[in-house]
Structure 1
Amino acid sequence: MQDHRRLGRELELFHSDPLVGAGLPLWLPRGAAARRAVEDYLLDLERRHGYQHVYSPPLAKAEMYYRSGHLPHYADDMFPPMALGGEDEQDQIVLRPSLCPHHAAVFAARGRSYRELPLRIGEIGGQYRAERSGVLGGLSRVRAISLNDGHVFCAEDQVEAEVIAALELMRVAHRALGFAPSSWRLSLRGDGPKYVDDPRMWQRATDVLRRALEAVGVDYVDGPGEAAFYGPKIDIQLLDHAGRESTLATVQVDYYMPARFDLSYVDADGARRRPVMVHRSAAGSMERLFAHLIEVHDGAFPAWFAPVQLEVLAVGDADARGFARSARAIGLRIEESYSGSLAARIRDASLRRVPFVAVIGASELAAGTVSLRCRGGAVDAMPVDAALARLESECRPPKQAGPLGPSVSV
């Protein structure tokens, strides 16, 4: 496993510019292409599992974050509020440290019935953390975060099933992306004023998460002092190239924010009930996810999210543009090369971890074939239509799972 920062530079995936600032990486075209493919996969996976997607602004009034508890409990990790020309706190705007208050506002946009529950809301949205310079590093620790986030609003008797369903969603996504967690942690409340003071609430949420972990049958450790300020969470841990552990995916049970935002739904008996909020991030932030994917795959991503899926190399005066157009027409991400030594161009494609290389010379044009080289595999000469069909099949994202069931094998 190699350091993602070095590979990211070599493969032109992302860049850090001192004029932009530390912890604010620029996604270059190849890195952006890979990220977009993964984001599309995650959004499609969530849609199939009942999520509705929203867009929400990365800013909000400071008042929202007093109500959510972030400013009282989490202010040290937030950027300072920005004044909008008045001295009143009502006129201050905050760069959000999390998406959950915005999703609570989505739930509150209109009256809700028990028939709508569980209501699953998802978004890949920006959030911002005032990380100290000394802890920043590549994509693994940044100040501008693009989070694969989701919130499930449900009745009390639906909470455990929704936690298990979130764990299943994570299992499907992680398997498709080609990695497995290094460990699981039940992150619990510690001592001190950082945490909301409501022991009964903490115990209810902890009990649900512990039952869910036992239901899926994974080994886990308790992590006192690792909880969010408003509740316990299941953390899915990863190891980087240096053996350092970090959290990628999480599931949290939250009784606090629904009360703070006065969320409610109408039950079957006509009474107003308080929903429970399940926070979950199936793949974490795109930044930390790709730091891990770059290292796990040594930059050689699976074909479905490789930045360049096919390199088309013309030999001599052969015109390979027709094949390149056909490859683009079926949705492949391709690059073309028409000059230089064929051996050097093949070596360059290999160093950039391109999954497929198509070589087309005069003999291939005359025969209506293409010489298709697979990364780490053999060279096959095949008809153009057969080559395109194979590429389309092998570069397609993994088949999505069906509806989530009540149990999961992890």
Structure 2
Amino acid sequence: MRSLASPDIRREETAMHDHRKLGRELDLFDTDPLIGAGLPYWLPDGATVRHTLEEYIRTAERRAGYRHVYSPVLGKRELYEISGHWSHYSDDMFPPMDLGGEQVVLRPSLCPHHALIYRSRSHSYRELPLRIAELGGMYRSELSGVLGGLTRVRAIQLNDAHIFCTLDQAADEARSALEMIREAYEALGISPTRYRLSLPGPGGKYVAAPELWQRATALLTDVLDRSGLPYESAEGEAAFYGPKIDVQVTDGAGRESTLSTVQVDFHQPEQFDLHYIGADGAKHRPVMVHRSIIGSVERAVAHLIEHHAGAFPAWLAPTQLMILPITDAELPNAAALAHHCAALGLRADTSAPDRGTLSARIRDARLVPYQAVIGPKEAASDHIALRLRDGRRLDPQPAPDALTRIRALIDAHSTALWDSPAAQH
């Protein structure tokens, strides 16, 4: 008999949790050679997960004082020459397209657009910090050999934001971003592997401005020290324009990647000549804090698929409640319950008796957080017998009471399925 710690067993478990396999089996996403490598499409259940995740982060950002914008996925080549992307990052960009005597480029990043949005209006120190957020598309010319599932793609939907603030405000903004990351990870039921202070390394891929690098590095180091977070420094992992705090996660195969980031940038405010009017009536240069709470939607969902093996937290699950009438006689009650769920904004589906035996239908719905069994006794009393995904069974209870409780747990973005003492094993 093989040891449970054997390499073969570990490989089998890793393959079972591989998001590329699970994502297709669960009808979350897929690819087609006619669309192209690194360009997955989202199926209805995957689109539900993505939409729910996007709405969570937009709501969290609004509560934290962010203003949302939309900006084009194209920009003139000149824009990226000014930002520094063209000289430092063009190997990862798609080739420019000739358009009306100009060259336009699919953007590799949102920050130049947000710098222009800031620059389009005059600003007083009283308005700062100004927090601009966008869930926007960007594009990377990744080599075919590194593409895979949702983790390495060529079209990326990024949860991005840029905070324009005074130097005195920058540390607090970076700390607030780290707190938002912590809260998001708690709601998603995931944990960081480690925090990394990403610094420049040797070579010419970084902006040559030693003083700016020193100021930005000192600021982020102080933020990490004051936050009490353990971290490691890593040379050669910085953005070309500045250092960053990277929040690292690990997949089932032990591969580490960056999910969330906080960056301090003194470079682009200079490049785009950004300023605000200070209390002294003079022009001052703002600091630009880049931050991404969940990184790209694609990589975030890939990590969630693998971490939860498809059993997402209830608030994120594509189907939150499966209704299971025992016989056709309970179908009207099932329809009424589904209508009630829709009115409460719960994502419910019905598994009718013609889909198989009750036990088979329960197995098919094993990843659904809640299963509502309706038999003759429940139908007569407008009760439901809830089964929880973790195996617990609850005593029959009035359907409105059960749905209200589920709705409250989902609204709280709780990872708990139920915390009532009435729960039974």
Q: TM-score range by the shorter chain?
A: over 0.9
- The 3-state SS of whatever aligns with 1:249 is strand
Aligned to 1:72: 87
Aligned to 1:327: 341
- The 3-state SS of whatever aligns with 2:71 is coil
Out of 196, 202, 226, the residue aligned to residue 215 of structure 1 is 226
Q: In terms of mean alpha carbon deviation, does 367-376 or 116-125 score higher? A: 367-376
After TM superposition, give the deviation of residue 200 of structure 1 in Å: 0.7
- The 3-state SS of whatever aligns with 1:302 is coil
Aligned to 1:382: 397
Counterpart code for 1:322: A
Counterpart code for 2:116: A
After TM superposition, give the deviation of residue 335 of structure 1 in Å: 1.4
Counterpart code for 1:45: A
- The 3-state SS of whatever aligns with 1:332 is coil
Counterpart code for 2:379: L
Q: Deviations over 1:166-195 (max 9, x none)?
A: 111111111111111101111111122211
Aligned to 2:378: 364
Counterpart code for 1:139: L
Out of 199, 213, 217, the residue aligned to residue 188 of structure 1 is 199
In the alignment, is the contact (CA less than 8 A) between 1:315 and 1:342 conserved in 2? yes
1:110 partnered with 2:121: yes
Q: In terms of mean alpha carbon deviation, does 338-347 or 55-64 score higher? A: 338-347
Residues of 2 paired with 1:371 and 1:169: CA distance?
37
- The 3-state SS of whatever aligns with 1:392 is helix
1:165 partnered with 2:176: yes
In the alignment, is the contact (CA less than 8 A) between 1:300 and 1:306 conserved in 2? yes
Aligned pair count? 393
After TM superposition, give the deviation of residue 68 of structure 1 in Å: 0.6
Counterpart code for 2:313: P
Q: In terms of mean alpha carbon deviation, does 93-102 or 3-12 score higher? A: 3-12
After TM superposition, give the deviation of residue 13 of structure 1 in Å: 1.0
After TM superposition, give the deviation of residue 279 of structure 1 in Å: 0.3
Residues of 2 paired with 1:264 and 1:277: CA distance?
11
After TM superposition, give the deviation of residue 385 of structure 1 in Å: 1.5
In the alignment, is the contact (CA less than 8 A) between 2:158 and 2:296 conserved in 1? yes
In the alignment, is the contact (CA less than 8 A) between 1:41 and 1:397 conserved in 2? no
Q: Deviations over 1:336-389 (max 9, x none)?
A: 222232221111001xx1001112233322121112211122143111221221
Out of 192, 205, 215, the residue aligned to residue 216 of structure 2 is 205
After TM superposition, give the deviation of residue 276 of structure 1 in Å: 0.5
1:314 partnered with 2:325: yes
In the alignment, is the contact (CA less than 8 A) between 1:205 and 1:253 conserved in 2? yes
Residues of 2 paired with 1:199 and 1:363: CA distance?
75
After TM superposition, give the deviation of residue 132 of structure 1 in Å: 0.5
In the alignment, is the contact (CA less than 8 A) between 1:136 and 1:142 conserved in 2? yes
1:82 partnered with 2:74: no
Counterpart code for 1:246: S
- The 3-state SS of whatever aligns with 1:300 is coil
1:155 partnered with 2:161: no
1:27 partnered with 2:68: no
Out of 109, 124, 134, the residue aligned to residue 135 of structure 2 is 124
Out of 338, 343, 352, the residue aligned to residue 359 of structure 2 is 343
Between 1 and 2, higher relative CO (CA 8 Å, sep ≥ 6) is seen in 1
Q: Deviations over 1:102-149 (max 9, x none)?
A: 111111121000000011111111110000011111111111111111
Aligned to 1:134: 145
Residues of 1 paired with 2:74 and 2:87: CA distance?
18
What's the TM-score once normalised by structure 2's chain length?
Answer: 0.90
In the alignment, is the contact (CA less than 8 A) between 1:14 and 1:27 conserved in 2? yes
In the alignment, is the contact (CA less than 8 A) between 2:385 and 2:393 conserved in 1? no
After TM superposition, give the deviation of residue 205 of structure 1 in Å: 0.6
- The 3-state SS of whatever aligns with 1:137 is coil
Matches within 5 A, 1:197-276: 197-276=208-287
Counterpart code for 1:199: P
Structure 2's unaligned 5+ residue stretches are 1-13, 415-425
Residues of 1 paired with 2:403 and 2:114: CA distance?
43
Residues of 1 paired with 2:100 and 2:404: CA distance?
60
In the alignment, is the contact (CA less than 8 A) between 2:38 and 2:148 conserved in 1? yes
Q: In terms of mean alpha carbon deviation, does 3-12 or 358-367 score higher? A: 358-367
Counterpart code for 1:346: I
Residues of 1 paired with 2:195 and 2:154: CA distance?
25
After TM superposition, give the deviation of residue 398 of structure 1 in Å: 2.5
Task: State the superposition RMSD in angstroms.
Answer: 1.2
After TM superposition, give the deviation of residue 8 of structure 1 in Å: 0.7
In the alignment, is the contact (CA less than 8 A) between 1:309 and 1:395 conserved in 2? no
Aligned to 1:403: none
Out of 33, 46, 59, the residue aligned to residue 18 of structure 1 is 33
1:174 partnered with 2:185: yes
Percent identical: 58
Residues of 2 paired with 1:82 and 1:54: CA distance?
25
After TM superposition, give the deviation of residue 391 of structure 1 in Å: 2.2
After TM superposition, give the deviation of residue 28 of structure 1 in Å: 0.9
Residues of 1 paired with 2:401 and 2:194: CA distance?
43
What's the TM-score once normalised by structure 1's chain length?
Answer: 0.93
After TM superposition, give the deviation of residue 85 of structure 1 in Å: 3.8
Distance 1:73 1:102, change over 3 A: same
- The 3-state SS of whatever aligns with 2:249 is strand
Residues of 2 paired with 1:171 and 1:394: CA distance?
19
In the alignment, is the contact (CA less than 8 A) between 1:12 and 1:30 conserved in 2? yes
Structure 1's unaligned 5+ residue stretches are 400-410
